[in-house]
Amino acid sequence: MFPAREGKSLLYRLRPITDRLPAVTRPEGHVHFRTKMLWVLLILVLYFALTNVYIYGLDRTQVVDFFASLRAILAGAQGSIMHLGIGPIVTASIILQLFAGAKIIRLDLTKEEDKAVYQGTQKLLVIVMIVVESVPQVFGFLRPSQAFVGMLEGAVAGYGNFLANAIIIIQLIIGSYLIFLMDEVVSKWGIGSGISLFIAAGVSQAIFTGTFNWMPSAPGDVTPAGTIPKTLHYLQTMSAQEVFSGGYEVIILGEPNPLIALVSTVVIFLLVAYAESTRVELPLAHGMARGARGRYPVKLIYASVLPIILVSAVLANVSMFTLLFWQNPDWPLVGHNWLLGAYPDPTGELVRNNILQATTPIGGFAYYVSTINGLRDWLLPLVSPERYGGIFLIIGKTPLQLLIHVIIYVVLFIVGSIIFARFWIETTGMGPEGVAKQIESSGMQIPGFRRDPRVLKRILERYIPVVTVISGAAVGALAVGADLFGTVGNATGTGVLLAVGILIQFYEALGREQMMEMHPLLRNFFGT
């Protein structure tokens, strides 16, 4: 029905499948600004509602959340039908973009037909990735309750456990595809991107609750968990002598949500907002229309925050695989190998008393690349091991080993961000050659130079490679700096960077939408 034409990509052969996948239709005409905002708010409310719908039949006491440190990026909720979050969508998108950038996929995304094939293939790949990510999660870390298995066993003898796992997988698939459809609703009927909206919403929720939560953090405790209520509580209940004799230390450094974490979050917010507005602008002039001028901005954060997402994902996968290796001693070479990573006994006293989590590495390579979260994880134990050593003394680490851990973590994050930033711009057409072709195809040129992509490329090579390295190092340093000082609500440095960037872009999109409402002729200029 849809044969691949001569010279066309083989992905055209998938059209009989991709054209029949459930999708959200585009509006036929212009969507009013108020209607777009209404759709955005409705989808946001639906998203928060679905994050509170827990998987039916799941044993919540046995949930192992491998990607707890990536919750801000994945925009999911542990143990809910949104457990996978946007992970499958982002993975599918990155794979296709890399393939298209490396010319493995022969599609010209400036053509409507090729663009439709690309989007259809992405939908199919999202479904594949949902299944690929659901199955290992269920059979490894999301286990059905014994009551649920027993109920199914009574209905179908011998297949209770299999059916229980299958039902949980189906719920994960439905939840993940709902996120995909909600993303389409926002992108087609709303403003911006649904994925970005969910990330910003999740991080903002963590920051808000971490700052203002007045509920106690543990049963029987009267101290609020939020930074501001906790600070006010201590100031009201402590005498001046208690505050100056050690109370200030509890307020500034005491978990959860110490005051230093709130200060760190605010500082990171301001630094990212400043970096987003810093750019080098190259003057452009139209080659045919006299007087038509413009500028091409090369932002300081040129590669956006994607490099730190990729670095975080790599480090999270290191933890996941090393834990799997540790839990399977029968595997040759890698099984229960201390050099790769060691973890506490899940049935041991440390885990039962909540001193350690079963997913916390205590030795090997996994320990040295594990996430650092706040001053209590590194600075205070280095300053006073006897007083603040705590968990590090329990697992037998010395201050030197802790210092090596910090250095390796910081270097890996910054260097990894630089590498991924350079890789990303070269494979997505953001490099000097790709940008030069874009400028040339638009009819623009740099004043005083010939209209030649090779000339443009040489000029852009003075800026883009340097800015890319600075961009990767900057976002890596900001993310790791936020992790070292801590973030309120445990939003992580990566999460704060993502949220700030997304909110700035959403604010700019709102401005464009309002401008188009006041001046309808601008819709053609923005391509809407």
Tens digit of pLDDT for each residue in 442-473? 777 777 777 777 888 888 888 899 999 999 99
Helix H or strand E segment including 174: helix 160-189
Residues 186 and 239 in one domain: no
From residue 179, how far is each of 120, 199, 353, 451 by CA, in Å?
17, 12, 36, 45
Round to whole Å and give the CA distance between 369 and 289.
55
The answer to whether position 3 is within a domain reads no
Positive/negative CA dihedral, 311, 313, 316, 318? negative
Residues 173 and 252 in one domain: no
Tell me: the pLDDT tens digits for 194-227?
A: 988 998 998 998 899 999 999 997 778 889 999 9
Residues 163 and 225 in one domain: no
Average pLDDT over residues 407-417: 94
DSSP state at residue 144: B
Q: Which residues of 237-248 are buried (b: 16+ CB within 10 A; e: fewer)?
A: ebeeeeeeeebe
Written as one letter, the residue type at 403 is L
Instruction: Return the structure tokens found at 94.
Output: 């990155």
Instruction: Return the structure tokens found at 455.
Output: 């000339």
Round to whole Å and give the CA distance between 491 and 268.
12
The candidate with the shortest Cα–Cα distance to 493, out of 159, 264, 295, 188, is: 264
The answer to whether position 61 is within a domain reads yes
From residue 320, how far is each of 37, 327, 342 by CA, in Å?
39, 11, 12
What pLDDT sits at residue 328?
Answer: 84
Instruction: Return the structure tokens found at 2.
Output: 């849809």
Round to whole Å and give the CA distance between 59 and 138.
11
Residues 160 and 289 in one domain: no
The answer to whether position 243 is within a domain reads yes
What pLDDT sits at residue 428?
Answer: 73
- Banded pLDDT at 72 (limits 50, 70, 90): low
Residue given tokens 């046995």 in the structure block: 62
- Banded pLDDT at 512 (limits 50, 70, 90): confident
Distance of CA 363 to the CA centre of its chain: 27
DSSP state at residue 10: G
Structural domains in the chain (count): 3
Instruction: Return the structure tokens found at 112.
Output: 């409507």
What pLDDT sits at residue 2?
Answer: 41
CATH label of the domain that carries residue 458: 1.10.3370.10
Phi, psi of 363 (to 5 degrees): -175, 170
- CB 172, CB 138: distance < 8 Å: yes
Residues 222 and 90 in one domain: no
What pLDDT sits at residue 411?
Answer: 95
Cβ burial of 527 (10 Å; 0-12, 13-18, 19+) is exposed
Residues 48 and 121 in one domain: yes
Residues 166 and 275 in one domain: no
The answer to whether position 7 is within a domain reads no
- CB 184, CB 24: distance < 8 Å: yes
pLDDT at 6 over 90: no
Longest pairwise C-alpha distance within the chain: 84
Tell me: the pLDDT tens digits for 10-20?
A: 888 888 898 88
From residue 294, how far is each of 297, 300, 445, 464 by CA, in Å?
10, 19, 10, 18
Report the share of the chain in percent with pLDDT over 90: 30
Tell me: the pLDDT tens digits for 155-201?
A: 888 888 889 999 999 999 999 999 999 999 999 999 988 988 998 99
Residues 321 and 395 in one domain: yes
Residues 86 and 158 in one domain: yes
- CB 252, CB 258: distance < 8 Å: yes
Residues 464 and 353 in one domain: yes
The answer to whether position 228 is within a domain reads yes
Residues 408 and 440 in one domain: yes
Written as one letter, the residue type at 168 is I
The answer to whether position 428 is within a domain reads yes
Residues 251 and 267 in one domain: no
What is the span of the domain harbouring residue 128?
A: 33-207
- Look at residue 17 and give its three-state secondary structure: helix
The candidate with the shortest Cα–Cα distance to 265, out of 314, 217, 209, 223, is: 209
Round to whole Å and give the CA distance between 263 and 268.
9
CA angle 173, 67, 418 (to 5 degrees): 115
The answer to whether position 515 is within a domain reads no
pTM above 0.75?
yes
pLDDT at 522 over 80: no
Round to whole Å and give the CA distance between 448 and 189.
43
- CB 506, CB 196: distance < 8 Å: yes
Mean of pLDDT over the chain: 84
CA angle 171, 491, 387 (to 5 degrees): 120
The candidate with the shortest Cα–Cα distance to 430, out of 388, 406, 397, 463, is: 463
The answer to whether position 116 is within a domain reads yes
